[in-house]
């Protein structure tokens, strides 16, 4: 099987496992784990922020960020398919008492005008005041789309003009940084809080970071504990994070090249892929355009030995390249996918 369902599927490599086995650890809750502290310091610098807090998942990093940046009764803005809205079980409402307003886009990247139009003016006493804007980079639901730094500056500028605070769901920020040749710190420092996930393209078994100012991260540590995320000998996992930052960042360019090769190959086979969509490690395949439902298409692909997953949009499938997908796997997929679906082209 060539498994292209998600970059969360990576297995820790022997080198990463060795780093984990040899980690010096302590009680993380008491701030006595030197490996966690080292990872937090590295991550703060990497993300252009004063301090970072190690947490088990990117979902927790996002939810802690929203709790830090808002009070119950405020409103949060994000793109309609943003992870924080679509796949976190209504967390902003549950954990932070927030009203959630979606900005609809084609690819996950909204404009300064979209933000301006969505904000509830501070003086309106009948509506929940808009307090937080979330940006997701790369945007998973939009197909791994990469935000240009200028566009980020524009939307953040509008938000700040209106007194909002801003969060970056950078679960895949290193993919964005590598794809755009913009440093993670350049992206990160535009925001109040930043999430970075270690268990996607970076290849760790788990772990994420939330970064921000010292004051905000003091609050973040309290919410981490409140949400049940304060750990003990977590250095065993943080060691994987340090290893990933040393070994698995630059190589994301290979994942992007593999995704481009897959996208171009599928287009050459006449399959409905928009090559302009392939900006990082995601390829979207519009099986609806072939007259297929997503379930049917996934089953056909599986029977030819390739696993795709469902994308955010109806009857669109997603292939994701990662550490455990080789260039050879892509050629295998390019042989198998047209076999599974090719007869439908032009039918």
Ligand X SMILES: Cc1ncc(COP(=O)(O)O)c(C=O)c1O
Q: Segment contacting ligand X (CB under 6 A): 57-65, 183-191, 249-257, 309-317?
A: 57-65
Q: Segment contacting ligand X (CB under 6 A): 53-61, 109-117, 185-193, 338-346?
A: 53-61
**Residue 320 in contact with ligand X, rule: CB under 6 A:** no
Size of the site for ligand X (CB under 6 A): 12
Q: Segment contacting ligand X (CB under 6 A): 51-59, 71-79, 262-270, 332-340?
A: 51-59
The backbone torsions φ and ψ at residue 278, rounded to the nearest 5 degrees and listed phi first, read -85, 90
Subset of residues 167 to 186 that bind ligand X, contact rule: CB under 6 A: 169, 171
State in angstroms the smallest separation of the CB of 57 from ligand X. Answer: 3
Which of helix, strand or coil describes residue 163?
coil
- CA–CA separation, 43 vs 83, rounded Å? 22
**Residue 58 in contact with ligand X, rule: CB under 6 A:** yes
User: Which residue among 199, 258, 277, 281 contacts ligand X (CB under 6 A)?
Assistant: 199
User: Which residue among 29, 57, 183, 309 contacts ligand X (CB under 6 A)?
Assistant: 57
Cβ–Cβ under 8 Å, residues 167 and 155: no
Tell me whether residue 156 or residue 290 sits nearer to ligand X (CB atom). Answer: 156
User: Which residue among 43, 49, 76, 83 contacts ligand X (CB under 6 A)?
Assistant: 83
**Residue 156 in contact with ligand X, rule: CB under 6 A:** no
* Tally of residues, the chain: 347
State in angstroms the smallest separation of the CB of 79 from ligand X. Answer: 11
Tell me whether residue 91 or residue 338 sits nearer to ligand X (CB atom). Answer: 91
Beta-bridge partners for 103: 79
**Residue 59 in contact with ligand X, rule: CB under 6 A:** yes
**Residue 202 in contact with ligand X, rule: CB under 6 A:** no
CA 159 to chain centre: 21
**Quick count: other Cβ atoms within 10 Å of Cβ 179?**
22
Tell me whether residue 146 or residue 197 sits nearer to ligand X (CB atom). Answer: 197
The backbone torsions φ and ψ at residue 16, rounded to the nearest 5 degrees and listed phi first, read -65, -40
State in angstroms the smallest separation of the CB of 256 from ligand X. Answer: 16
Helix axis angle for 327-341 and 294-303, nearest 10°, is 120
Cβ–Cβ under 8 Å, residues 140 and 310: no
Tell me whether residue 89 or residue 226 sits nearer to ligand X (CB atom). Answer: 89
Would you say the C-alpha torsion 309, 245, 110, 262 has a positive or negative sign?
A: negative
- CA–CA separation, 135 vs 84, rounded Å? 10
Phi-psi region at 35: left, alpha or beta (left = phi > 0; alpha = psi -120 to 50): alpha
Which of helix, strand or coil describes residue 32?
coil
Subset of residues 104 to 143 that bind ligand X, contact rule: CB under 6 A: 136, 140
State in angstroms the smallest separation of the CB of 139 from ligand X. Answer: 7
Residue with the two structure tokens 């996002």: 62
Tell me whether residue 108 or residue 129 sits nearer to ligand X (CB atom). Answer: 108
**Residue 79 in contact with ligand X, rule: CB under 6 A:** no
- CA–CA separation, 291 vs 216, rounded Å? 50
- CA–CA separation, 144 vs 318, rounded Å? 10
Q: Which residues bind ligand X (CB under 6 A)?
A: 57-59, 62, 83, 136, 140, 169, 171, 197, 199, 208
């Amino acid at each position: 099987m060539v498994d292209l369902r998600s970059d969360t599927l990576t297995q820790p490599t022997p080198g990463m496992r060795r780093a984990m086995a040899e980690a010096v650890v302590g009680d993380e809750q008491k701030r006595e784990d030197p490996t966690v502290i080292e990872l937090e310091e590295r991550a703060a610098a990497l993300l252009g922020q004063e301090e970072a807090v190690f947490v088990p998942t990117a979902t927790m990093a996002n939810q802690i960020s929203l709790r830090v940046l808002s009070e119950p009764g405020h409103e949060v803005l994000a793109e309609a398919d943003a992870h924080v809205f679509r796949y976190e079980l209504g967390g902003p409402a549950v954990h932070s008492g927030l009203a959630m307003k979606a900005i609809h886009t084609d690819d996950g990247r909204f404009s300064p005008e979209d933000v301006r139009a969505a904000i509830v003016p501070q003086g309106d006493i009948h509506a929940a005041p808009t307090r937080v804007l979330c940006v997701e980079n790369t945007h998973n639901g939009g197909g791994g789309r990469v935000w240009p730094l200028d566009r980020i500056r524009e939307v953040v500028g509008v938000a700040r003009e209106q007194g909002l605070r801003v969060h970056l769901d950078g679960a895949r920020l290193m993919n964005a940084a590598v794809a755009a040749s913009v440093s993670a710190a350049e992206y990160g420092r535009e925001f109040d809080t930043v999430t970075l996930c270690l268990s996607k393209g970076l290849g760790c078994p788990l772990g994420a970071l939330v970064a921000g100012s010292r004051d905000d991260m003091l609050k973040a540590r309290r919410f981490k504990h409140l949400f049940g995320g304060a750990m003990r000998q977590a250095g065993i996992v943080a060691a994987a994070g340090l290893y990933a930052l040393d070994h698995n960042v630059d190589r994301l360019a290979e994942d992007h090249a593999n995704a481009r090769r897959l996208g171009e190959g599928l287009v050459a086979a006449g399959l409905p892929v928009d090559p302009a969509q392939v900006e990082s490690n995601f390829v979207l395949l519009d099986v609806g355009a072939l007259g297929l439902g997503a379930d049917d298409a996934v089953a056909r692909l599986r029977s030819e030995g390739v696993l795709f997953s469902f994308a955010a949009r109806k009857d669109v499938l997603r292939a994701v390249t990662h550490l455990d997908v080789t260039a050879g796997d892509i050629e295998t997929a390019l042989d198998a996918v047209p076999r599974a679906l090719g007869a439908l082209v032009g039918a």
